[in-house]
Structure 1
Amino acid sequence: MDDALQQLTSLVARLPGLGPRSARRVVLHLLKNRETVLAPLVGALGRVDAALSECDICGNLDIANPCRICTDAKRDPALLCVVADVADLWALERGRLFAGRYHVLGGTLSALDGVGPEALSIGKLVERVTDGVSEVVLAMNATLEGQTTAHFVAEQLAGTGVKISQLAHGVPVGGELDYLDEGTLAQALRLRRPLA
């Protein structure tokens, strides 16, 4: 294989969910479909690369700065959803379920990976909360790192007087108890609610 093709395959293999074999298949597909897939993909990547920036307010990635979410007048500025990563923000936006604004921390606390509070935008979050925010929704993953980060953020916001809530965790819709781990079941039991 040519060095340029090998480099392309290696770069594609770095994408999430792709290994070396999948990367070779993707590259082969791109090469076989140069006019209909490869050329438009290269063009789109170039345009995004040239225009993409991180929002100075929330940390979202967009072609506008501030991003379209932060400048949307229809969104409630009193509601702020805190997420670890831009991927989490995009996942929540896909469902169009949240009518407020966001704050991206840039990761989660992890002693093993050497990620401490100074590596995250927690200080900026505390500053934002003092500007008319009435509720902060902590939308962290139900992992040890996610929950540790949520507790740390809640401690940092404790003196601000803002309401702090967290996404519910537990049995997913359509989930069968037999397939759930003990942590998920324990959380579901702790967060149980009355039916009547």
Structure 2
Amino acid sequence: MFPPSIQKLIDSFAKLPGVGKKTAQHYAYFLLRSHRTIARDLSDALRSIEQGITLCRQCQMLCDGALCGTCMNPKRDQRTICVVEQIFDLEAIEKSKEYTGVYHVLHGRISPLDKIAPEDLKIKELIDRVKKLSGEIEIILATNPSNEGEATAIYIQKLLAPFNLKITRIATGIPVGADLEYADEVTLGRAIKGRQKYD
């Protein structure tokens, strides 16, 4: 029905999460009928992501250098590490303006049903990072309050137990089964402030 180049564009859009065939067609049609600079800007942005974006070697956040801005910021407490499942969770906590430490992004959570094992996450990198730190260290486990998030937090807590760290879990107030990225700033701020020791 469509020329091959347009069908390829539609198929590419349809691979995005939450984008079905109809929406992909609408996106392609929008690009075709809009000013060429929009398509060029999109193409340039995609190319720069492909060529220049990497993971921060310390916290596993997306960045365009060896370290992200948060890890390089001298005002951030490098010995307080908030462990989150996804980059969106980090962004949500930052919006609360209650947290001054650094982060560690796991890029997922343990989920046997989805065939996601601990080895598939950035847990080893967290352990390696903790080994390099000295002084009083706090690890805040800010995985989502779902079964998988709890399992991930428990797994990490057991791995970190021999290091004699302060391990806390964000306070409740975030509904069970909810994702952090959808929580409001006030709720997240209170959850960070009210974190508890995780035994």
**Is residue 140 of structure 2 the alignment partner of residue 162 of structure 1?**
no
Q: Which residue of 2 aligns with 1:177?
A: none
Aligned residues with identical type, % of pairs = 35
Letter in 2 for 1:147: E
User: Are 1:144 and 2:162 an aligned pair?
Assistant: no
Shift of the alpha carbon at 1:12?
Answer: 0.6
Normalising by the residue count of structure 1, what TM-score does the alignment of the two structures yield?
0.80
The number of aligned residues is 173
Question: Residue 113 of structure 1 aligns with which residue?
Answer: 114
> What's the CA shift string for 1:140-169, capped at 9, x where partnerless?
112111111011111111222211111223
Contact 2:145-2:174 within 8 A present in 1 as well: no
Runs (5+) with no aligned partner, structure 2:
176-193, 195-199
CA distance in 2: counterparts of 1:90 and 1:171, whole angstroms: 16
Secondary structure of 1:169's match? coil
The 1:95/1:28 distance shift into structure 2, 3 A limit, reads farther
Separation (CA, whole Å) in 2 of partners of 1:78 and 1:114: 32
* Secondary structure at the counterpart of residue 69 of structure 2: coil
1:123 is displaced (CA, Å) by 2.6
Q: Secondary structure at the match of 1:168?
A: coil
Cα distance in 2 for partners of 1:50, 1:69 equals 22
**CA distance in structure 2 between the aligned counterparts of 1:48 and 1:71, rounded to whole angstroms:** 21
For the residues of structure 1 that align with 2:9 and 2:164, how far apart are their CA atoms? 52
The equivalent of 1:20 in structure 2 is 21
Which deviates the most, 83-92 or 11-20?
83-92
- Counterpart of 1:70 in 2: which secondary structure? helix
TM-score of the aligned structures, taking structure 2 as reference length: 0.79
CA distance in 1, matches of 2:98, 2:21: 37
Distance 1:117 1:159 in 2: 18
C-alpha RMSD over aligned residues? 2.0
Q: CA deviation at 1:91?
A: 2.9
CA distance in 2, matches of 1:29, 1:9: 11
Match in the other structure for 1:81? 82
SS in 1 for 2:71: coil
For 2:67, the aligned partner's letter is P
Aligned partners of 2:81, 2:31: CA distance in 1, in Å? 41
1:179 maps to none
Larger RCO (CA within 8 A; separation ≥ 6): 2
Equivalent residue, structure 1, for 2:185 = none
Contact kept, 8 Å, 1:76 with 1:100, in 2: the verdict is yes
Q: Counterpart of 1:175?
A: none
Of stretches 7-16 and 120-129 in structure 1, the one that deviates more from structure 2 is 120-129
Q: Is the 8 A contact 1:137 1:164 kept in 2?
A: yes
Q: Does 1:97 align with 2:92?
A: no
Structure 1 164/17 Cα, relative in aligned 2: closer, same or farther at 3 Å?
Answer: same
